[in-house]
Structure 1
Amino acid sequence: MSGGATAADEVVDLCRKLIRYDTTNPGDGTGPGERAAAEYVVGLLQDVGLEPELFESEPGRANVVVRLEGTDPSRPALVVHGHLDVVPAHAPDWSVDPFAGELRDGLVWGRGAVDMKDMDAMVLAVVRQMVREGRRPARDVVVAMFADEEAGGRLGAHWAVEHRPELFAGATEAISEVGGFSVDVAGQRVYLLQTAEKGLAWLRLVARGRAGHGSQVSTDNAVTHLAAAVARIGAHPWPLQLTPTVRALLEGVADLTGLPFDADDPAGVEALVEALGPVSRFVGATLRHSTNPTRLAAGYKENVIPGEATAVVDGRFLPGRSAEFDETVAGLAGPHVQVEDLVRDTGLEVPFEGALVDAMTAAVLAEDPGAHVLPYMLSGGTDNKSLSRLGITGYGFAPLRLPADLDFAGMFHGVDERVPVDALQFGTRVLDRLLSTC
């Protein structure tokens, strides 16, 4: 290996420095934006001789893209992407300053440590090492660091796909966040490779009625109509529906634990999900559609019956089943409530097979022999949704070998977000293998 820092040497420092850039994205346009962090990324890439492009969708909402030429540029390109924004952090709830990038007890602490400045740092560290050593990836690799993922990607990946599609020319596959991390199943280490993610439907419910004096009898009250609809939608017992990805995961867990798998036995399915430990919160939400009311608004005075009342519902539908989801929600809303899309994006599901899946699996097992790799579906969403508009097949693969007792799922958007140093170093080795061979 040539002189200079290796990816494993510098990944921790890169992760800590990225965390120190406050890129909070409240989703309402009031955040500081990603520009400063994007300029830092540009500097890191320019430092090794690359020529990245920084572009903004709006002032301060910055994205960075660079292409590395592969040893066989005739092959379809691979997109390796991350996002630079993070969700808000309420500092008084934290044990540390969420934007200090503190190193404590062998872990890097801070907002973005797992979502997803850890992966950003691993990608940057690996790319810098490969370029310094004069190595090229097996095929062209497009590295992208997007803005605005935490608000649906309208100013980030979605904007880039719509306005700068040429940056992804020739790309057919992509890897990004929330996959490739390890969990403990019956004392065995299992890496969950994300091959699916639920669709997104943030819905606005609008109820209208007759405005009037609060002392009068009202049989057409917008608040009453809305409250009933919200209660029905929030309490609806969505039926169990196992997609191919979830079925393959549960079959794998059954093989490892000896528990029976019967797709028609809800209790047995739940037992298999629970065997996944803390990550069962991710997996449990992929067994069915979901609708969670999150906001309510109505009225402007105590003694005035308003003519309109609104609510917001966070809906997540299974891939390929949006029509049945919409039909059921409309029925639950009832005749007095209109259902409108605030944000909608597609669900994704791809087979757990193919050359890239084989390469990701091999890269993990080369660093952790004896482990297992299984597919799973993410209950949330990633920028792979946006890239799918260009026909790019996306996977979640941010490889981390984690302690069995670390509540990794709870770190996402949670308090005291942190990632182990040795997990970051493990991830750089896996990603280096992958980019060199896939």
Structure 2
Amino acid sequence: MSVAPQQPSAVTAQDEVTGICQDLLRIDSSNYGDGSGPGERAAAEYVMASLTEVGLDPEYFESAPGRANVVVRLPGTDRARPALVLHGHLDVVPAQADEWQVDPFAGEERDGLLWGRGAVDMKDMDAMILAVVRQYAREGRRPARDVVIGMFADEEAGGVFGARWAVDNRPDLFEGATEAISEVGGFSVEIAGQRAYLLQTAEKGLAWLRLVADGRAGHGSQVNHDNAVTHVAAAVARIGQHAWPLALTPTVRRLLDGVAQLTGRRFDPEDPDGIDALVAELGTAARFVGATIRTTANPTQLGAGYKANVIPGRAEATVDLRYVPGHGQEALATIERLAGEHVRLEAIHRDIALEVPFEGDLVDAMVAAVQAEDPGALVLPYTLSAGTDNKSLSRLGIAGYGFAPLRLPADLDFAGMFHGVDERVPVEALTFGVRVLDRLLRTC
């Protein structure tokens, strides 16, 4: 693909990003995880139109009917350098409209914020990427190195029909790429009166597990010492009440050390109370960080029986296990022990943990781009308690970072809006983000 030099356009990425984000928010691309949602086709078609309008030649492909993905490569000024993948996902988790203050798919702007499902996860970043890429194409500019732009399906259900499918079936799309940028990082927090940006350099591994017990069915009035419901309930209680030990990775240690220096608090890796106090200094971001200092396992579903006076022969539960990088086998062994002899484990979905260095040319460029737009701000690494499509790209040896730059009001509960109600993003944060991304692509 080539981009012919053109005269600079009067329309800039900052001008466009709000409208693009609103357009994307108005497309219902809910992912229910069972194939019953609308799919990503409409959102992908919008992305295709946005890119082709400015002379680019993106590739559209579906891994299954309606599960649509879009990829385009921007040639860099130095094509001998390894390529960078800049990617987002087009699906969103479902929203219950009656729980929201606004229609979650109206893309409404209110009090300087855009409201809607996907405003922070992650159609905001999708819009920033599209706005910057469109400006580059209109002006005939090229990034410092090849950049592969990917907009994927199905991230909210593990990426099976999106990034994972593309990696397994179209690895040629990522030829020469060694690093990637996506969600969830680059957002600002306030620590002891100082603005800092959290750059994601790690994410926990996950295992969605089904607990299954087979017992003796019978009449509800009879004595039954092999009750499947009892077996599963006991396992769920043990797992839910288990106290997981501290497990501080290099990323977490570096973050907590940075918080300690800003606040004057002491960081002792062996002091749980002191660590909790440091995490609390992160304000609303403590929701993310507090879940990364140890493995977590939350029971999320229960199912058994069909009548009040019938003891069923089978009972089930599901557990969402999120383990600290380097502790996967240990975590699974613990769950198996807690489940007990009467309960077996079945894997629903599993994916790896990631941790990459907080150093190197790309990290330096991300830090410099933020500080150019927000002089004096600090940038600290952190671990994401959830997961991203960087897990899939890692199968190709691509090191992934979370960097969707947003300068946020200190009192905005950013972390609480992920998969929550009344999801919203400040318009000023979007325009800040496109300025940072523009600088980054010029220099990284």
State the TM-score, normalizing by the size of structure 2: 0.98
Query: What SS is found at the alignment partner of 1:249?
Result: helix
Instruction: Map residues 320-335 of structure 1 onto 2, 5 A cutoff.
Output: 320-335=326-341
Q: CA deviation at 1:351?
A: 1.3
Corresponding residue number in structure 2 for 1:385: 391
Write out per-residue CA displacement over residues 340-378 of structure 1, whole angstroms, 9 at most, x where no aligned residue: 110000000011111100000000000000000000000
Instruction: Map residues 44-193 of structure 1 onto 2, 5 A cutoff.
Output: 44-193=50-199
Distance in 2 between residues matched to 1:179 and 1:406, nearest whole Å:
15
Corresponding residue number in structure 2 for 1:281: 287
User: How many equivalent pairs are there?
Assistant: 438
Distance in 2 between residues matched to 1:426 and 1:343, nearest whole Å:
36
Any stretches of 5+ residues in structure 1 without a counterpart?
A: none
Amino acid at match of 2:70: V
Distance in 2 between residues matched to 1:3 and 1:218, nearest whole Å:
77
Distance in 1 between residues matched to 2:25 and 2:297, nearest whole Å:
32
Corresponding residue number in structure 1 for 2:321: 315
**Residue 299 in 1 paired to residue 309 in 2?**
no
Distance in 2 between residues matched to 1:322 and 1:96, nearest whole Å:
40
Distance in 2 between residues matched to 1:394 and 1:404, nearest whole Å:
27
**Residue 242 in 1 paired to residue 248 in 2?**
yes
Write out per-residue CA displacement over residues 204-237 of structure 1, whole angstroms, 9 at most, x where no aligned residue: 0001111112111101111111100000001100
Q: CA deviation at 1:152?
A: 0.8
Q: CA deviation at 1:304?
A: 1.6
Percent identity for Structure 1 against Structure 2? 74
Distance in 2 between residues matched to 1:197 and 1:173, nearest whole Å:
15
Q: CA deviation at 1:300?
A: 1.6
Write out per-residue CA displacement over residues 175-230 of structure 1, whole angstroms, 9 at most, x where no aligned residue: 00110000000010000000000001000000111111211110111111110000
RMSD: 0.7
Corresponding residue number in structure 1 for 2:3: none
Corresponding residue number in structure 2 for 1:210: 216
- Which residue of 266, 270, 275 maps to 1:264? 270
Distance in 1 between residues matched to 2:306 and 2:426, nearest whole Å:
49
Distance in 1 between residues matched to 2:304 and 2:190, nearest whole Å:
46
Any stretches of 5+ residues in structure 2 without a counterpart?
A: 1-6
Distance in 2 between residues matched to 1:320 and 1:243, nearest whole Å:
8
Corresponding residue number in structure 1 for 2:414: 408
List 4+ stretches of structure 1 deviating above 3 A: none
Write out per-residue CA displacement over residues 125-155 of structure 1, whole angstroms, 9 at most, x where no aligned residue: 0001011111100000000000010111111
Corresponding residue number in structure 2 for 1:195: 201
Distance in 2 between residues matched to 1:336 and 1:414, nearest whole Å:
36
Q: CA deviation at 1:3?
A: 2.6
Q: CA deviation at 1:4?
A: 2.7
Query: What SS is found at the alignment partner of 1:340?
Result: strand
Distance in 2 between residues matched to 1:421 and 1:103, nearest whole Å:
9
Distance in 2 between residues matched to 1:3 and 1:66, nearest whole Å:
21
- Which residue of 25, 31, 39 maps to 1:25? 31
Amino acid at match of 2:376: G
Amino acid at match of 1:127: V
